[in-house]
Structure 1
Amino acid sequence: MASLRTFRKKIKYTLLYFLVRFLIAIANGVSRSAWLKFCGRLGKLTSYFAKKTKRISIENLTIAFGKEKSKAEIEALATEMFVQLGKNVGDVLRATSQVDTLEKLNEFVIMKGFENFEVADRKGKGVVFVACHLGAFEFQITSMAVRGLNFMVIGTPLKDKRLNDLMWKHRNKNGTNYVERDKATYPMMKTLKAGGSVALLIDQDTRKVKSTFVHFFGRSASTPIGAALMALKTGAAVLPAFSHLGDDGMQHIEILPEIPLHITGN
């Protein structure tokens, strides 16, 4: 039985890998607007088959909007989430081979708040970006890399080696230093002490990293504390950053001002 599950997973990841390579090849031959429209429809189609994921999405959206939106509105919002997911994934796949300079990136990405990074960076103690799995967050990585900054990204390796190698190649190609989470502590400290920057995605509930419970939508949510620990140990500035695909068809990245660090002893 276990061997059958292993075989099925191997087939699934093999098909996924070749699908990703196929989509990258297609993306190179069409305009961005046509490509995003296609990927949006592909995302909507996926919503009809990914029943478990859609159910979880509806449950979470109900927590956030249950008092102000009807059941039908929340279900429509969940479907639109898949549409936007398709577009964002498609944009990232397209960029893997088409974006290698700031000029090319600026054709479809708008950066807001870069001055907040410059202010924090001038302190010389490093910068910790706290981000989340929102929108095409990969472009936050790309936008810093093509600016030639000393930038490190911490990530969890994908289960399939071929897909992981593809992601690794994409993230590192413009100068980003991508490090897997289990090997990241020393490189992070070294980068911050050298005045560099580190990006962490902290929105997932995971027992694999040090976390604490915070109130979120009236519930206790397990939240990683790595960013806070790094800031305490190095004096680095902590800056929130997020991205989203706008109605204008552009990818918008926003860097917010530094979060003041309050030493409480806890």
Structure 2
Amino acid sequence: MESNLHHVLPEMPGPQLRKLAWRNWLNYTKAWIDFFKIPRMDRRKLGALLTPSGLENLDAAMARGKGVIVVAPHMGSWELAAASWAASFGEIGVMVEQIEPRRLFDHVSALRSRMNIRVIPLSQTGARDIIRMLKEHRMVVLAMDRDILNTGQPFKFFGRLTSFPTGPVEIALKTGAPILPAFCIRDQNDAYIAIGEPPLFLTPSEDHPADVRGAMEQILATFERYIKRYPDQWHVLEPIWPEKPVVPAVTIPSPPAQAAVGD
């Protein structure tokens, strides 16, 4: 975590960086505590804990009638935001990485199901489930600040190349579903603000690699803006940037039959 934060704030002295990492850990712990409280909350209590912002952007995306692909970094309590959306809009899908031990994963998945969240396991074939939900005009939430399956493409992030999954963009280009960047930020009162940024309505051109790259750069620029503003709430424990520089790809391949996505 501290290494990732150093890339975000390279000018920050070591002692301050360690304090920042400690605040990050504290917020991360609070987010998990809040998650385990959610199943015992009614809609009123859930609404009191989370204030929406940018609902007009979500409405504009939903109005397309093609479902919505919500993309987010691991910030704040993304689980709380997902539960709130499910309470308001019906069942939503969330793609997740299978964590260890398996017993914990099954317990967390069961809690998500109780919150009207359909768990989509992170896999090469997960795109099928995502597309199926989009055809049902559902919302699908994808965290895309980690290339867990190592199937992504290199993009600059805070000035240095690293790999990100392009699956959400590939699916949006294929289905016509809008992409909504979203963030769930903890405020000074230990409540949350769920922010929906303006959606991306992608139109395929004859230059597919350029379509993918342009959309990815827009999404990552939005991620950078929020992470820079709230570095103590970007909860990524694994190194985002490799020790050795990433070699840029010459082209982005055409979308495969099953596009890979990230958690």
Matched, 1:129 2:73: no
User: What does the per-residue CA deviation read over 1:176-220, in whole Å, with 9 as the maximum and x for residues that have no partner?
Assistant: 2112122522221111122211111101132x1531111011111
Other-structure match for 2:84: 143
Tell whether the 8 Å contact from 1:240 to 1:258 is kept in structure 2 after alignment: yes
Matched, 1:187 2:145: no
Other-structure match for 1:203: 145
Question: Among residues 60, 69, 80, which one is paired with 2:4 in the alignment?
Answer: 60
Task: Report the Cα distance in structure 2 between the residues aligned to 1:76 and 1:156, rounded to whole angstroms.
Answer: 29
User: What does the per-residue CA deviation read over 1:191-250, in whole Å, with 9 as the maximum and x for residues that have no partner?
Assistant: 1122211111101132x1531111011111100111101101100000001112111221
Q: Which has the higher helix share?
A: 1
Tell whether the 8 Å contact from 2:127 to 2:171 is kept in structure 1 after alignment: no
User: What does the per-residue CA deviation read over 1:46-103, in whole Å, with 9 as the maximum and x for residues that have no partner?
Assistant: xxxxxxxxxxx22222222122x2222112111111111122121112223x22x321
Matched, 1:236 2:177: yes
Unpaired runs of 5+ residues, structure 2, are 210-263
Other-structure match for 1:247: 188
Local SS of the residue matching 1:91? helix
The alignment-based identity, stated in percent, is: 26
- Deviation of 1:153 after TM superposition, in Å, equals 1.0
Which amino acid in structure 2 is aligned with residue 79 of structure 1? W
Question: Among residues 104, 107, 113, which one is paired with 2:48 in the alignment?
Answer: 107
Tell whether the 8 Å contact from 2:50 to 2:81 is kept in structure 1 after alignment: no
With normalisation by structure 2, the TM-score equals 0.73
Task: Report the Cα distance in structure 2 between the residues aligned to 1:154 and 1:235, rounded to whole angstroms.
Answer: 19
Task: Report the Cα distance in structure 2 between the residues aligned to 1:159 and 1:247, rounded to whole angstroms.
Answer: 32
Task: Report the Cα distance in structure 2 between the residues aligned to 1:215 and 1:84, rounded to whole angstroms.
Answer: 27
Task: Report the Cα distance in structure 2 between the residues aligned to 1:262 and 1:72, rounded to whole angstroms.
Answer: 47
Other-structure match for 1:88: 31
- Deviation of 1:154 after TM superposition, in Å, equals 1.0
Other-structure match for 1:71: 14
Unpaired runs of 5+ residues, structure 1, are 1-56
Local SS of the residue matching 2:147? coil
Other-structure match for 1:265: 208
- Deviation of 1:130 after TM superposition, in Å, equals 0.4
Other-structure match for 2:166: 225
Task: Report the Cα distance in structure 1 between the residues aligned to 2:92 and 2:162, rounded to whole angstroms.
Answer: 29
Task: Report the Cα distance in structure 2 between the residues aligned to 1:146 and 1:190, rounded to whole angstroms.
Answer: 20
Task: Report the Cα distance in structure 2 between the residues aligned to 1:65 and 1:152, rounded to whole angstroms.
Answer: 33
Q: Kindly tell me: are residues 71 and 158 of structure 1, through their superposed partners in 2, closer, same or farther at Cα, counting changes over 3 Å?
A: closer
Tell whether the 8 Å contact from 1:142 to 1:174 is kept in structure 2 after alignment: yes
Question: Among residues 135, 154, 171, which one is paired with 2:112 in the alignment?
Answer: 171
Which amino acid in structure 2 is aligned with residue 65 of structure 1? L
- Deviation of 1:128 after TM superposition, in Å, equals 0.3
- Kindly report the root-mean-square deviation, in angstroms, between the aligned alpha carbons of the 2 structures: 1.6
User: What does the per-residue CA deviation read over 1:103-155, in whole Å, with 9 as the maximum and x for residues that have no partner?
Assistant: 12012111111221111111111110001211111012101111142411111
How many matched pairs?
206
